[in-house]
Amino acid sequence: MPIIKLRRKQKGVNVQANQAASTEVGRMKLGDTLKTIKPIRSQKTGVMLPREGTFVRAVENMGRLLILVNFGAAGEEYLFPDEVTLEANKA
């Protein structure tokens, strides 16, 4: 019996979104203020997270980029790059 290898097709839109997100993540520094794009519930506690948090670090897991965000009293959560945006400096 022959072995058949299947390849998943990536859509052009997803590839462009991933490249844009990784570019923005590359500009983030420790302590930068981030805003969530939509309401997010904590996976750990079930509490709704605040809209603003602080960038801690970016990690790659199983080929996906994740951002660790500190939400103060609400704790730290890993989010996808498309769930947050870098807030402009208020200086």
Q: What is the pLDDT of residue 63?
A: 87
Q: What is the pLDDT of residue 11?
A: 52
Give 10-56 as a DSSP string: PPHHHHHHHHHHHHHHHH--TT-EEEESS--B-TTT-PBPPSEEEEE
Structural domains of the chain in order of their starting residue, each with its CATH number: 29-86 (2.30.30)
**DSSP-assigned beta bridge partners for residue 60:** 65
pLDDT-flagged residues of the chain (< 50): 13
